[in-house]
Amino acid sequence: MVQPPRPKGCPLFLHRNGQWCRKVKGKAFYFGPDLDAALLRWAHSKDHILAGEPPPRKDGKPTLAELANLYLADSRQRVKAGDCRADHTAQVKVVLDIIVGAVGGTAKPDTMTPAAWSKVRSACATTKAGKPSAQVTLKMRLSKCRAFLNWCTKQKHVNSVDAGDALAPPAKRLIKREENARGDRLWEAADLRKVIAAASIELRAVLLLGINGGMGSLDIAMLTRSQWK
């Protein structure tokens, strides 16, 4: 098959698969077999492609996977700026993976129904082992789901999201019932002394900071040399 000549000044070339194509940084982008339509598509998406960004979607609605990547990038920037705790991005990623795993990365929040978000809630309420999550864990995960969607709306990535009551926090009575069933989990002073005595020098310092200063592992990890002085 003889290929038609490439028009002078045309930014696209005809690929052997029959589609007009443009290569940018070694990656091929195809715009269909009709040259006029291909040039229109190229004009519509070239700014994104040349900037190393994905071409805009035909319906203009981003997928969950795309939004999750944007949210993670924003989270890393906030952590870097000191606006969030160092473990914020890792916690966010866990919840985003749950959302994408429940409904798929190609789902679009703009078109998802409350029934679809109910699948997300069910996934949040289940551990990796398939057992029910603690109510406080479910509450935390649902809170991060809502924060993610609020961010998407605030950043104008989506117009609106209809989740119904699927992402509402669990009832306080359920959390209280779970706490009562678990009972107090207290360590006696004698038990703490045994743990401290058996710990290494490094771990002993961590234990003492936690016991006497009420510091968590992340608080201790973020201490600087100047603060130790």
Summarised one tens digit per residue, pLDDT across range 202-221 is: 889 889 988 888 888 777 77
Region 180-197 average pLDDT: 85
**Partner residues linked to 13 by β-bridges:** 21
1-56 sits in which CATH class? alpha beta
Instruction: Give the three-state DSSP class for 79.
Output: helix
Q: End-to-end alpha-carbon separation of the chain, Å?
A: 79
Residue 143 CA to residue 137 CA, distance in Å, equals: 10
Global pTM? Answer: 0.62
- Phi then psi for residue 74, to 5 deg, are -65, -40
Residue 160 CA to residue 16 CA, distance in Å, equals: 43
Element (H, E) at 13: strand 13-14
**Residue 157: its pLDDT value, please?**
86
Residue 181 CA to residue 45 CA, distance in Å, equals: 58
**Residue 116: its pLDDT value, please?**
95
- Of residues 178 and 145, the one with the higher pLDDT is 145
Give the confidence band of 80 by pLDDT, cuts at 50, 70, 90: confident
